[in-house]
Chain A
Amino acid sequence: MSLPFLLEIGTEEIPDWMIEGACQQLTRLFTEISMFHRIGPGGTSQAGVANTWTKATPRRLALYSAYVIARQGDTEELIMGPPKSAGPGAANGFARKLGVSIDQLSTEVTPKGEYLSFLKKIPGRATRDILSEALPELILKIQWPKTMYWTGKSGQRFIRPIRWIVALLDNQVVRFEVAGVKSGNVTSGHRILGAPEIPVASENYEQKLLENYVILSPQEREKRIRAGIGSASDEGLLKTLVNLTEFPSVISGTFESEFLKLPAEVLVTVMRHHQKYFAIYENGQLTNRFLAVTNTDGDPDGLIRRGNERVLRARFNDAKFFWETDQKKKLVDRVADLAHVTFQAKLGSYLEKTGRIERIVHDELGGDHAAVRAAHLSKADLTTELVKEFTDLQGVVGGLYAREQGEPEEVWTAIYDHYKPASMEDSIPRHPAGQLVSIADKLDTLRGCFGIGLIPTGSKDPFALRRSAQGIVKILVEGELRLPIRKLLHNDTKLEDFVLDRVRYYFKDIRGFKYDEVNAILASGWDDLVDVQDRLVAIQAVRPTENFEPLAASFKRIQNILKQAQFTGDGGSIDASLLEPGPETDLYQEFQNVRNRAADQPYRPALESIASLRPKVDLFFDKVLVNAPDAKIRQNRLTLLHTLLAEFSTIADFSEIVTNT
């Protein structure tokens, strides 16, 4: 018989960003115990998944399963006894130990002979008893990024205090206790609008919650918010608000149009990050309206709207005050003040960093006057009140001030953009000047930190060096900047390995190239990342053609042969007179043809030409013995193979290609 099961863990407000992960864990943990204890639905596990759900609000995690069986199936255990030959005394002893009569014993035939045995029947336990034992552990097994205790030292830990638990199997309470809270059938409604204590049953649980202003399903809450915000989209903010409310309503407010004179970036940051409002645009222009999501059933008296408007006005006034105060001192006059802002104890102040960025832009990256000017001003905004208040806007604020102060577009956009890309999804700086300043800034951080041994280990990367390295890679490739990256890394091997990892990650995980193609291409050099990209595109295109993979397999064979012969190619050039007529000479001639042809071709046709060698290579291996008895001939053949391999490994190391042959 299968029964409905409902579990609700009632808590104080769980941080919004943890709720989704907790739901996933709850599903997984419940599946684990139902499989372990064999209490899941009798049918396929598919049916179980279809009839189990988890839903959550900030104050509750709920799990429902439509079909939990009432009782575990019975099982049997075969208990082996003494050999039959041991006689009746031993048989009696065995039966006595088990508490059964001797005629209940049976005989097992084993390779060692006949043994007495007993088939013990173990009756299945009631699911209710199993759940009573398993659920406390299940609840406490949910992993959280940061837990607390609240019942006293060495008390149980959870994300926030657990205040009630509903656990119903077939609408009867499954009894247990966690952190002093006893399970029951009483839930709690919305803090303000709902009843504090509501008895529920499995079938009316969601409905009762809804009557008490709790929309259990995150999807439903999302729908409700989406309906209210219309075209104002901001997926990250939406998700936050879905998990910050139990009964979301969207209200709209306005602010004084005069604030629109402030940069949109500042206004949007205040609305989005500080107040969690949706900003509203019309024809690409920011308007003086905003949308807020409340945890209420609307705002009939307009009190909530007015309150939010007042808070926003105060925030905007602050920003306006900072914007105006900051303008009293030009960016260029703020550069000297950077002497008082520490970048890193051993790496000096931001003034020193600024000097280094300027030199890298000018001396190493070949930046023009605009790029050097932007580098000079790039960090000056760290001394402004606006950046101290809105740290997320570093760079952006500097760019805006530079624009106000009459810097040319190339300069102010370079300052504005130089922290980009903030992530792999973010775009790179829009103009070359910004790209160079961004690279120089990140390069300086990487060199400096590696120079003093601040090398990221595992998940520890306090200076976000991975992001810096990743940013450089992305800018070089997507900005099509043919700059010698290895030279820029000062040929520091640790730093090179670190950046190479990021190069690999970029092409493999971000751009979707196959890992063996990336390995093959990088093995042939990666000093110019634009070139790496060109070669990758070519190899990806040529790979499906018929000759390519077999040739790659042959190249691997060549490499193995050379390795076995410990041949490193110091033996001079190929002696054509030693070549045997037939497959060997054919290969040599074809090799020369291909070499000449490929030399002037772009990568893709060049790779196609190289792949066309395949029949000759195959024939060579078929008919010619590399390990010829004559040492001179053997040497010459190895030289031929070595030359072939070396010649064609400038585009890719084909032996890195993983083939099925």
Chain B
Amino acid sequence: MTLVGAGLLLVSCAAGLALLMAMAPSARTRGFVSGALTCLVGLGGVLAGSAALLGSTWSATATHLLPLSQGELTVDRLSGLFVFLVGAVALATGVYSMGYPQAPRHVEGMVQPAHGTTSRTAQAALPLFAAAMVLVPTAGNVTTFLVLWELMALVSLALVLTEHRSRPEVGQAGIWYAAMTHAGLVAILLALVILSTEAGSESFAEIRDTAPALSSGTQSLVFVLSFVGFGSKAGLVPLHVWLPRAHPEAPSYVSALMSAAMVNLGLYGVLRVGFDLLGGGPRWWWLLVLGVGALSALYGVLQAMAATDLKRLLAYSTTENLGLIFVGVGAAGTFAATGQRTLAGLLMLAAVLHTVNHAAFKTLLFMGAGAVLRSTHLRDLDAMGGLARRMPFTTAFVGIGALAASGLPPGNGFVSEWLLLQGLIHSLPVSGTPDVAVAIVMPLAVGAVALTAGLGVATFVKAFGVGFLARPRSAEAAAAAEVPGTMRVGMAAAAVACGLLALAPLAPVRALESVLGVMPSIGDRRPVQGAVELRLSGITGSMSPLLIALGLAGGAVLATVVVRGLGSGRPRRTALVWGCGGTRLSPRMQYTATAYAEPLTRVFDDVLRPEHDVDVTHYQESRYLVESVRYRQRVSDRLETRLYPPLLAAANRWGQMARRLQDGSVHRYLAYGLVGLLLVLMALGVTA
């Protein structure tokens, strides 16, 4: 059996064991075994994925497993990439989840709620979820794909609802998540069913061969429907509203799995259907993808910038990064459709590399947020602070993650953003007039990517600086303690991955370039060459992340040595913060996250529409003296409040109208069934 097959077998066995494990009596054992099984699933995914990326393909069919069809699994390089990604994320989160559950405690008079879970369902569901996600990219026909997709959605819903006993908002989040994920499923179902009916077969291999013969109207319909469904899973606006609701309420290892692994499967779907099965398609498809991606990136980063809940911020950051990835995919598709394969290859490579980078740093960040939540029971940045002294490891890891997420060198986000920008700026020809659509779209895309990058820096400086640096703003933050070893190991693994991707991006770049060969309109390309310095082939451009990092480090050492030598050698004195000579500044007087984001929120007022509440309490004795002032700013998701209520109200009205059909008589309900059956039979009789 090949390595791919062995890896997938390991995944299935671990998933099977997960169901058995649920019968173990001790909650602690179950927790450890659940985490260990998730690690095994992750390991299997990594093995299978890397073998597939290095070239070995694999397929298997199981004829009696599914009704009306057969189960078919096919692994090629594109699926290998996503199997690897999901496996790597599952490996890190599996280790992390072992130490996460914490029972409710009473400490210093404060009641601290429970974290994680000891319920059998949730613990068995974690390895199952990871296994379902690993197997989705390997599906080789429509039925298998849909079954695995739905399995993934249902198990993730169970995981999102893990802590529903401790908090009531979790139930609401679960409802939104379930509704939107199934709406997406309907779109994907329609798209794939139309495709397989028109193509005459449901196996992906046969669809690939017959798809070029379909009419362009059918192809476009299939593409748009699948983009809607997969885009909703990937968190693109306006179907992103489940992300900021579900992620904060789920336990952090589940959020990490969802944000770093599951949303990538939305990308996988678009690549598989758009580039592979439909073979590329006309340009307007990909301009649509680019537009939606740019809008998602901008909207996501704006909402993240204004968010004060740490996990909500990270959820919107997922929307932002997926938006950037889809900008790359859309631009790649646009150029592939017009035959400019060099550019298409470079942009697709940038998009895929950003997916890998995003998976690495988003896992790390969510794990860090989970560590903070578990130690301080706080998600609100306005109440955090000073965690660097109390939780040094977590701070260091989150610092690495924030550096990567902000897209600055020497982080790994910078490498993929640089490649994306290079692809976009080379889109216009050196001489002659370019095509009008490209000429209008590309500068706007560059502007959108640039604004996203700039706002992203502000967002993550806010998250890291307000959350971890300076002094604690509340008692809970002051009482924080470092997290247990397994959680630290999980975070360290993700941090090491970020570091490797930042300094030596070429190893994954080689593997990722092989993915391009799966997409016929792009073909086999080697867009980037060179080991230490990344050189673009076919167009001019080069940059060296390793040399930049070495230069920064070397310059820092040199500067420190010289300054110490030239300086007076007096030791650094710790003193009180300057308070204009009068007041002693309390920690509460520090800038909060709301204050930090205020200037940018004001600039982007029209998009964010924050709501302000000012509450002034006067002294009882005199209304001229103020005892306290309370200022509250709330930024709600404007797309959700404007787009969704009318739709939901319309659905409600339909539901009310349908109630007239439901008058309580069982006989009438049964009669509906009988009449329906008779009508169908008569229709059959007439037409047969």
The reply to whether chain A is a binding partner of chain B is no
Query: Which A residues form the contact surface with B (CB < 8 A)?
Result: none
